[in-house]
Homo-oligomer: A and B are copies of this chain.
Amino acid sequence: MSKKINVSIIGVTGYTGMELLRCLLQHDHVEIKYLVSRQHEGTPLSKLFPRLSHLDDLKITNTDHEIVAKDSDLVFLCLPHKAAQDVVPTFLGKTRVIDFSADFRLDDKDIYKKYYHIYHQCPDLLDGTFIYGLPEVYRDQIKKADAVANPGCFALLVQLLLLPFKGQMDSADVIAISGTSGGGRSARDPVDHPYCAQNMRSYLINKHRHTPEILATSGLAEEQLNFAPTVGPFLRGIFANGFIKTASKPNTDIFKGHPFVRLVDKVEMTNVVSTNFVDLSYEQGHNGEIVAQGALDNLLRGASGTAVQNMNIMFGFEETAGLTFNTPFYP
């Protein structure tokens, strides 16, 4: 219980940065070293987020990244894609890194270009430097990794949903419905309340940036997957429904020993919101298909919770450390 590591967050003031901080503050093995934000340097966190009023000693700094690297055993980068590329080289080799952005999730600069519409600035880092942070698949590699690329929220749910059929699918058709917090704190997409409060809409069908992550893990070719990202009128959570063409039964044994995957009879989104669980259900459908459903909290299991899970694996802590939440039982 005594071992503690020094941990810093770059870009702490976004939704995922704040969820990450929430987990780390309740983690027995973590000492917060620097909370870095260029934009909010010097502002007390409790001023930005009144719910932190009891934590007056938390300060936002704009500490030089070299110093952050030197003083930290682990640095979380909570930056948008493109911004992450600019700072990652400063940290590599000096400290361990978990990157929330999409910049190091893929291993092919052309696919990156195709989905993100920009050239990657450090394509040489795309081959093996970063381990993809999906614990249910890459736990062993994560253990030894110095750099982890944390998955996208849609990607993480869809990957786990399809995982029991890996290598056994003819095709998969998935719709995933996200709450409005999925857009992030400074979302450019419209998430104002009057627009969203009673709406449903899909966007970027088969063009969403999380698609290549799904393909990489599932073993599906682009032509075998249809993916319809959708926004619903709720705050947190993603609810996914997949139609999977397969002759196999779901091999759910792969989830044994993975503490944050629950196989349930019936997925209800509220059962996972404010937890790090993924709930999954599989039902034999018609036409040789499985009807699969899954849900997670987009900010926890879909982002910061999985990042903490990866940290736990990297440093040999209990995988669940810092990830227990006393959420309401009902309602």
Closest B residue, CB atoms, query A274: B328
Partner among B193, B226, B289, B295 whose Cβ is within 8 Å of the Cβ of A200: B295
Copy number in the complex reads 4
B230 close to A233 (CB less than 8 A): no
Cα A267 to Cα B202 in complex, Å, equals 8
B285 close to A198 (CB less than 8 A): no
Can you spell out 16 A-B residue pairs with CB atoms less than 8 angstroms apart?
A18-B330, A22-B329, A53-B264, A171-B286, A180-B193, A197-B234, A198-B236, A198-B237, A200-B239, A205-B285, A206-B285, A226-B286, A226-B289, A232-B234, A299-B328, A325-B326
One of A72-80, A113-121, A159-167, A217-225 contacting the partner: A217-225
Shortest CB distance A24–B (Å):
11
Given the known interface contacts A202-B293, A228-B291, A234-B197, the answer about A223 and B286 at a Cβ–Cβ threshold of 8 Å is yes
Counting CB contacts under 8 A, is A50 at the interface? yes
Counting CB contacts under 8 A, is A101 at the interface? no
Counting CB contacts under 8 A, is A149 at the interface? no
User: CB within 8 Å of B: which residues of A?
Assistant: 15, 18-19, 21-22, 26, 49-53, 171, 173, 175, 177, 179-181, 185, 187, 191-203, 205-206, 222-226, 228, 230, 232-237, 239, 241, 243, 262, 264, 266-271, 273-275, 283, 285-287, 289, 291, 293, 295, 299, 325-331
Question: Contacts of A205 on B, CB cut-off 8 Å?
Answer: 283, 285, 291
A271 close to B51 (CB less than 8 A): yes
A226 close to B287 (CB less than 8 A): yes
B180 close to A291 (CB less than 8 A): no
A52, A187, A201: most-surrounded residue (chain B CB, <10 A): A201
A19 close to B328 (CB less than 8 A): yes
A18, A274, A329: most-surrounded residue (chain B CB, <10 A): A329
A268 close to B180 (CB less than 8 A): no
A203, A222, A267, A330: most-surrounded residue (chain B CB, <10 A): A330
